Amino acid sequence: MEALATPELWAALLTLTALEIVLGIDNIIFISIIVSKLPKEQQARARTLGLAGALFTRVGLLFSLAWMASLIHPLFTVMEFPVSGRDLVLFFGGLFLLWKATTEIHESLEGGDDESSIDVPRRKVPTFLSAIVQIMILDIVFSLDSVITAVGMTNNLPIMVAAITIAIITMMFFAGPLSRFVDAHPTVKVLALAFLIMVGGALVAESLHFHIPKGYLYFAMAFSVGVEMVNLKMRKSIDRRRPRHTEAPQSGENP
């Protein structure tokens, strides 16, 4: 109880929780896009299971800090380039993310001009199990980033577990509204897929020891979202004015 009254402890908990939520944004985007192809009655359950899997994965990694530390050590060398377990996970995870996002954009473009076909491509509908498997694969990749951040922030294991748990529960509340928003706006879905391509490229670069500051990625995402919000507002304004222009000539017709 005395530890709970320590200001440094609460500061570490709040800071780490905020960072975990920010680091989980790309995870929520990926989950939203995957479950959007499932039947409506299965989407909420898939989101919950996907985020619950992320929680168990991250907490499990925290309790295996010795194994996490071993991931940094080189496993083998390719042309004098040391390759660690972390590099392999980031490399193949980044490639998977690039492939998945590119495939989703390709399917959206093949849907034609009909926005409903852009939202839900009808040719390839994943099963509930395959959606969960895809979510779990990316959870492992995203968990590495999250857990490494937690370990770098504090060495207090209960604080790390509490911060990750609070962050995942918070994301569970926002995953549903975000998924519905992405489904209702096809251009936002394409923007989200572009974010995943950027994240996938950053993961591959990180595996090759080219460090890209996360601040650059988050700034690019925030700027793009701001521009898209302006575009959405402009389209709504145009749609509100359009009926007036189309109806005005009819009302002014000569008898």
Concatenated DSSP letters for 193-248?
Answer: HHHHHHHHHHHHHHHTT----HHHHHHHHHHHHHHHHHHHHHHHHHHHHHHHHHHH
Is the pTM value of this prediction over 0.75? no
* Euclidean distance between CA atoms 74 and 85, whole angstroms: 7
Does residue 247 lie in a domain region? no
Does residue 182 lie in a domain region? yes
Domain of residue 150: give its range.
8-241
Determine how many CB atoms are found less than 10 A away from the CB of residue 180: 13
Does residue 210 lie in a domain region? yes
* Euclidean distance between CA atoms 118 and 104, whole angstroms: 10
C-alpha distances out from residue 43 to 16, 33, 40, 191, 196, Å: 29, 10, 5, 21, 20
Does residue 86 lie in a domain region? yes
Using alpha carbons only, what angle is made at residue 207 by residues 204 and 211, rounded to the nearest 5 degrees? 90
Does residue 255 lie in a domain region? no
Core vs surface per residue 58-68: b (16+ CB within 10 A) or e: bbebbeeeeeb
pLDDT in tens, the chain (255 residues): 455 556 667 777 787 777 777 767 777 777 888 888 788 888 888 888 888 887 887 788 777 765 666 677 788 888 888 888 878 878 887 888 888 888 888 877 775 444 444 444 444 556 788 888 777 777 777 776 667 666 666 667 777 788 888 888 888 888 888 777 877 777 887 887 888 888 888 888 888 888 888 778 778 878 888 888 898 888 888 877 775 544 445 555 554
Does residue 248 lie in a domain region? no
Q: Taken in order 222, 223, 228, 230, is the CA torsion positive or negative?
A: positive
Does residue 137 lie in a domain region? yes
What's the structural domain count of the chain?
1
